[in-house]
Amino acid sequence: MKRLAAAFAAALLCASGGAAVPVAGPDQALIDGDKMPRKLSEFGLFVSGGAALQAGVVPYELHTPLFSDYADKARAIWLPAGTKAEVGGDGTVAFPVGTVLIKSFSWSGQGGGKPVETRLLIHRKDGWTALPYVWDADGRDATLAIGGRRVPVSFTEPDGTPQAISYAVPNKNQCKECHAEAGAIIPIGPKGRNLVFAPQWQAFRSGRFTWPANRIAPLPRWDDPKSGSVAERARAYLDVNCAHCHNPKGSASNSGLFLRWTDDPTGVNYGIGKRPTAAGRGSGGMEFAIKPGDPDHSFLIYRLESLDPGIAMPELGRGAVHKEGAALLRQWIADMPEAKKN
């Protein structure tokens, strides 16, 4: 079907009298430059006229993904010809200049499942650049929305609840709020321990990624009990959904709440017995971020289950409550022995 569409598009071009257009791949010069093209198609990452990936742009998945309003996310990566990404011993990936990380957001109940938004994270010489594109109504191309946008979106939650939300496409600065480490933009999701190498990825992995000698244990899948205990899956969830801000170099550094996979989960800086500091209304009248054995009096849960902008966490990119994620964290806190209580 995709191939057919491409052939049709090519035929149209010929019919219009233009010279035969070669199947353009990603435009590396544009990727490497400093432009912010108005149209997503200019990068050549997608087959012209839709959201099908261009040859050489490889889809990937994550063990535990970031929740974004129940969106289906299609992730893909472009590595420039002849380059390799190097996975470090701590699981971080050194992507070469010229890399593009691509993430498209869609909902099956929305516009026939066509993507609503595509975000690019481009590794340029002077660092990573984040660009948000909103797909045009005809689904043939997407337009830069540098100031962000709100898009009405309808979908059905996994438990059957119909939802209509005002989906927030982040502005360029908001991309940075989550993706910043010590003020510079970095990728969040594709870490060595979180990348899934499905069979179709295997060749790409071996050819384009170099791995450290010591094996990196994969992050548990938050929703797969076979992949880890409740506590392990809860911590994987917190790592992916929270730790990009809640780390000593992230946007929430001043909170003193650090939720990385590598942080000590028994410490006060992990939230157990931690009193609110700049939480404002986010404390919900509770004394502790995490009160062992008592999720109803743990304001970490309160903030995850709220949609009020003065309370909700994360602050950006969440217009719906992730009921299943919150349920996992509730169970984790409920299971904690109260003896650990501060």
The torsion region of residue 340 among left (phi > 0), alpha (psi -120 to 50) and beta comes to alpha
Q: Which one among 22, 310, 337, 339 touches another protein, defined by CB under 8 A?
A: 310
Nearer to another protein, 88 or 256 (CB): 256
Are 174 and 316 in contact, with CB atoms under 8 Å apart? yes
Instruction: Tell me the closest approach of the beta carbon of residue 257 to another protein, in angstroms.
Output: 9
Q: Which of 65, 137, 140 is nearest to 103 (CA)?
A: 65
Place of tokens 């062992």: 292
Q: Which of 94, 136, 97 is nearest to 115 (CA)?
A: 136
Q: Which one among 73, 114, 208, 281 touches another protein, defined by CB under 8 A?
A: 281
Q: Which of 102, 103, 101, 105 is nearest to 151 (CA)?
A: 105
Strand partners, 102: 76, 120
Instruction: Tell me the closest approach of the beta carbon of residue 281 to another protein, in angstroms.
Output: 5
Instruction: Tell me the closest approach of the beta carbon of residue 140 to another protein, in angstroms.
Output: 22
Q: Which one among 82, 207, 309, 337 touches another protein, defined by CB under 8 A?
A: 309
Are 238 and 298 in contact, with CB atoms under 8 Å apart? no
Angle at 258 between CA 257 and CA 262, to 5 degrees: 160
Nearer to another protein, 58 or 130 (CB): 130
**Near another protein in 119-178, by CB under 8 A:** 145-150, 166, 168, 171-174, 176-177
Nearer to another protein, 77 or 311 (CB): 311
Stretch that binds another protein, among 4-12, 105-113, 155-163, 266-274 (CB under 8 A): 266-274
Instruction: Tell me the closest approach of the beta carbon of residue 172 to another protein, in angstroms.
Output: 5
The CA distances from residue 58 to 33, 118, 225, in Å, are: 22, 15, 28
Give the per-residue contact string, 174-203, with another protein (x = CB under 8 A; - = no). Answer: x-xx--x--x--------------------
The CA distances from residue 159 to 93, 111, 176, 324, in Å, are: 36, 21, 32, 9
**Near another protein in 220-249, by CB under 8 A:** 248
Would you tell me which residues interact with another protein (CB under 8 A)? 145-150, 166, 168, 171-174, 176-177, 180, 183, 248, 251, 253-256, 267-269, 273-288, 299, 308-311, 315-316, 319, 342
